[in-house]
């Protein structure tokens, strides 16, 4: 509980920052013009109470970092919250708003109209389609599904492709920041953003923010959908192959560029040519934009390593390896700063974005982010406890989040656990896109860390931490510290064998 003295100290600190930012703003016009691209992606961040100034600054910088690389005249609305309720050793999570069931023909038409690069052209040609443009084929567990009709996009990708108005006011993503109380090591966030030298014993919040925004931008795979994974488990348990109707409605845009050696050599495609996407969990999937001829990078194979043969990391990431492939690696090293690579940009290119090789001046990003916060908040540096501009006695930020999930529709009803979280009658189960952190061993090799995925069908104690660990970020909504969603009912969890950090 804060004392009156501590409150005064905090207020004095914020007052000093206000004066500094006001002075900075008074001389910032030329700076903003110099550092901001003439046309670029824009982020409109909103923050839950409890989000610190330094955390807000890190996300504003991360948004401007992506804006240096993506030139689409689009505005994305992102809600950010700090929490102590993420699973063990999970440092951040993103829940992208989704546009459900885009018809293949309509999606393909929008993609064709958005071509701005050779990568775009190759990617479009790599997506097999029938002569009428209505259907495409994919592979899963060695079975070819010939009548796929739908593709799921994040709202961000849909905006980039013109499927949603570029300035639509709806929420495009929800991001959670761990307060690091869930770690099995004593670490803190690095918030010295102007230096690329990250202190030992810290995790770079800026790198985490860039990563989580990458998921919102479209880097998501059906391999993390518990509904799809459960369907595969059930069929494998019966000694059978999964059926086409189970895959319908689960495929994401990123999945269309997910290949395997087996799917590359198949000609049972909608256009009778070699090569189709493979949405199997496990195996050796790789990123390709020429129907599997070129393996540009390997993907992670899935969190379920016991039954489905995944590598322990969510499919919505590059393959974790010592030679880091890009910002969408599933882990963040201690004392490390991560950068967007050409591979990341190629992925963003074929996810609908117009990319450029932007030169990033970290000091300029820092200054611009401070100015952005000042202009946005009207000199107020702490998020409001309550915002209700429409006068309906509901916090506007919570209403936007509720609307985002509701409009994502069936995508966030994929969950198969069947546990109702008491909010709008939805049944949750989506995993979100979580980024784990890991420790460097003395010999310089990375030690893998897997975070717990808790089930709700039994109860037991939890090793080391007694923090509730819902199966999904949507479960976390039911436990939200912000209080915009009713609390979860029957939150049950069990102990599971895990790998921990070597300390």
Contacts of 136 (CB under 8 A, 6+ apart): 104, 127, 128, 129, 130, 148, 256, 269, 270, 276
Pairing of strands 75-83, 90-96: unpaired
Please tell me the predicted confidence (pLDDT) of residue 229.
Answer: 73
Q: What is the pLDDT of residue 374?
A: 82
Q: What is the pLDDT of residue 228?
A: 73
* Residue with tokens 């009658």, as numbered in its chain: 425
| pLDDT on residue 249 | 74
pLDDT of residue 412: 59
Nearest to 63 by CA among 383, 366, 408, 330: 366
* Closest CA relative to residue 414, chosen from 240, 256, 230, 238: 230
> Are 364 and 372 a contacting pair, CB within 8 Å?
no
Q: Where are the domains of the chain?
A: 4-91+170-207+330-347+362-478
Which DSSP helix (H) or strand (E) runs through 136?
strand 136-140
The 10 Å Cβ neighbour count of residue 80 is: 24
DSSP-derived pairing of the beta strands 75-83 and 42-47: parallel
**Of how many residues is the chain composed?**
503
3-state secondary structure 238-302: CCCCCCHHHHCCCCECHHHHEECHHHHCCCCCCCCCCCCEECCCCCCCEECCCCCCCCCEEECCE
Q: What is the pLDDT at residue 329?
A: 92
Query: CA 156 from chain center: how many Å?
Result: 11
Q: Give pLDDT, residue 493.
A: 23
| 152: its two tokens | 């799921």
Q: Which tokens belong to 137?
A: 């084929």
Contact predicate 381/65, CB 8 Å: no
Beta-strand relationship, 90-96 and 143-148 = unpaired
pLDDT per residue rounded down to tens, the chain (503 residues): 444 444 454 445 444 455 444 444 444 333 343 455 667 899 999 998 889 999 999 999 999 999 999 999 999 999 999 988 777 788 988 889 988 768 999 999 999 999 999 999 999 999 999 988 899 999 988 889 888 999 999 999 999 999 999 999 999 999 989 999 988 889 999 999 999 999 999 999 999 999 999 999 999 998 877 777 777 777 777 777 777 667 777 899 999 999 999 999 888 899 999 999 999 888 899 999 999 999 999 999 887 766 777 888 888 999 998 899 999 999 898 999 999 999 999 999 999 999 998 788 999 999 999 988 888 765 455 666 667 777 777 777 777 777 777 777 655 553 322 222 222 222 222 334 556 544 323 222 112 222 222 122 222 222 222 222 223 343 344 333 333 332 222 222 222 223 222 21
């Amino acid at each position: 509980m804060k004392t009156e003295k501590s409150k005064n100290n905090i207020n004095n600190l914020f007052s000093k920052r206000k004066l500094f930012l006001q002075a900075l703003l008074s001389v910032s016009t030329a700076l903003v013009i110099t550092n901001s691209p003439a046309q670029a992606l824009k982020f409109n961040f909103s923050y839950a109470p409890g989000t610190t100034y330094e955390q807000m600054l890190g996300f504003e910088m991360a948004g401007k970092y992506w804006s240096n690389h993506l030139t689409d005249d689009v505005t994305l609305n992102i809600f950010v919250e700090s929490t102590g309720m993420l699973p063990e050793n999970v440092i951040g999570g993103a829940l992208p708003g989704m546009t459900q069931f885009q018809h293949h023909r309509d999606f393909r038409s929008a993609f064709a109209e958005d071509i701005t690069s050779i990568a775009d052209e190759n990617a479009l040609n790599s997506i097999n389609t029938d002569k009428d443009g209505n259907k495409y084929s994919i592979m899963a567990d060695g079975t070819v599904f010939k009548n796929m009709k739908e593709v799921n996009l994040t709202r961000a990708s849909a905006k980039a492709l013109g499927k949603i108005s570029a300035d639509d006011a709806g929420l495009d993503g929800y991001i959670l920041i761990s307060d690091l109380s869930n770690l099995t090591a004593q670490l803190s966030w690095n918030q010295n953003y102007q230096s690329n030298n990250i202190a030992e014993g810290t995790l770079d919040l800026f790198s985490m923010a860039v990563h989580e925004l990458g998921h919102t931008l479209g880097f998501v795979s059906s391999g993390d959908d518990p509904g799809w994974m459960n369907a595969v488990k059930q069929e494998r348990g019966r000694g059978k192959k999964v059926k086409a109707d189970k895959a319908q409605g689960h495929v994401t845009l990123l999945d269309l560029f997910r290949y395997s050696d087996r799917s590359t050599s198949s000609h049972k495609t909608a256009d009778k040519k070699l090569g189709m996407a493979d949405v199997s969990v496990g195996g050796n999937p790789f990123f390709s934009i020429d129907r599997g001829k070129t393996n540009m990078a390997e993907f992670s194979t899935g969190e379920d390593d016991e039954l489905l043969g995944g590598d322990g990391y969510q499919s919505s990431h590059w393959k974790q390896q010592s030679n880091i492939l890009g910002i969408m690696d599933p882990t963040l090293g201690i004392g490390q700063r991560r950068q967007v690579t050409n591979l990341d940009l190629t992925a963003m290119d074929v996810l609908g974005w117009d990319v450029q090789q932007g030169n990033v001046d970290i000091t300029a990003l820092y200054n611009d982010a401070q100015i952005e916060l000042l202009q946005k908040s009207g000199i107020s540096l702490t998020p409001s406890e309550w915002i209700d501009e429409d006068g309906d006695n509901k916090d506007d930020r919570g209403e936007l989040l509720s609307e985002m999930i509701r409009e994502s529709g069936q995508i966030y009803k994929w969950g198969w656990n069947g546990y109702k979280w008491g909010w709008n009658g939805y049944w949750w189960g989506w995993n979100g896109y979580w980024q784990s952190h890991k420790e460097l061993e003395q010999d310089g090799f990375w030690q893998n860390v897997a975070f717990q995925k808790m089930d709700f069908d039994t109860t037991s104690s939890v090793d080391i931490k007694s923090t509730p660990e819902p199966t999904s970020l949507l479960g976390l909504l039911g436990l939200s510290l912000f209080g915009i969603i009713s609390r979860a009912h029957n939150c049950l969890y069990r102990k599971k064998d895990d790998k921990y950090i070597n300390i």
